[in-house]
């Protein structure tokens, strides 16, 4: 069974914005290794359009950017969008039944499947399908933007922390099923 992982770079105040800060060399190498190891990735339309940058070679790329592009192109991608009519190479457009498709992928595949984008991650969180959250904290405060958690934060339990780059730390959380059960039980008691 595959594990669904949502991880992104974010500011100290919880916002994601790929144009406001970028990974340093060590973190970029980390992302290359991460993408190489993935079974596949799930995208919403907006995040997929941003990542399509890697579909076309740029003569100004260094070796690491070329390595990332090769890894990104290699992996299967599922793009969830009702407004898109087509997707690029090695991608499948999914317009209906997010839950059934993702449950099927988790059951059929092994390894890690990356969830790309806060809104898609929120939809999958509400369905109880995200197995792990990886927050790559950068020493930047944005004050506004797209939050890492697009909706209410689920009850989480910290499982590890790791310094990835000189000034970036990764916090890894999993859903706290004991707290989730207690909250659900409390809600049922208060409505009875």
Tokens coding 123:
């939809």
Q: Between 25-37 and 63-74, two packed helices, what is the crossing angle to 10 degrees?
A: 20
Q: Say what the pLDDT of residue 177 is.
A: 79
Distance CA 70, CA 116 (A): 18
Q: What is the pLDDT of residues 88-128, one digit of tens each?
A: 999 999 999 999 999 999 999 999 999 999 999 999 999 99
Average pLDDT over residues 39-43: 97
Average pLDDT over residues 26-50: 95
Confidence band, pLDDT 50/70/90 cuts, at residue 178: low
Distance CA 1, CA 22 (A): 33
**Residue-range domain boundaries for the chain:** 3-191
Distance CA 178, CA 176 (A): 6
Higher-confidence residue of 24 and 158: namely 158
Question: pLDDT > 70: what percent of the chain?
Answer: 92
Nearest Cα neighbor of 78 from 57, 106, 54 is 106
Q: Say what the pLDDT of residue 189 is.
A: 55
Global pTM? 0.89
Q: Would you tell me how many other CB atoms lie within 10 Å of the CB of residue 167?
A: 12
Confidence band, pLDDT 50/70/90 cuts, at residue 23: confident
Q: Would you tell me how many other CB atoms lie within 10 Å of the CB of residue 152?
A: 9
CATH topology (fold) of 3-191 = Dihydrofolate Reductase, subunit A (3.40.430)
Average pLDDT over residues 25-35: 95
């Amino acid at each position: 069974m595959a594990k669904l992982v949502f991880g992104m770079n974010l500011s100290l105040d919880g916002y994601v914005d790929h144009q406001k800060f970028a990974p340093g060399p060590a973190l970029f190498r980390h992302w290359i290794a991460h993408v190489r190891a993935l079974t596949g990735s799930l995208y919403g339309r907006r995040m997929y359009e941003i990542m399509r940058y890697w579909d076309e070679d740029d003569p100004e790329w260094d070796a690491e950017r070329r390595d990332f592009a090769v890894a990104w192109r290699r992996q299967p991608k599922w793009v969830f969008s009702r407004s898109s009519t087509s997707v690029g190479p090695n991608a499948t457009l999914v317009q209906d039944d997010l839950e059934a498709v993702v449950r099927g992928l988790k059951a059929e595949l092994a390894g890690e499947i990356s969830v790309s984008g806060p809104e898609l991650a929120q939809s999958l969180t509400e369905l109880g399908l995200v197995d792990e959250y990886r927050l790559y904290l950068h020493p930047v405060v944005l004050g506004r933007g797209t939050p890492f958690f697009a909706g209410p934060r689920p009850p989480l339990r910290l499982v590890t922390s790791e310094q990835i780059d000189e000034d970036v730390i990764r916090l890894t959380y999993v859903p706290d099923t004991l707290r989730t059960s207690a909250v659900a039980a409390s809600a049922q008691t208060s409505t009875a």
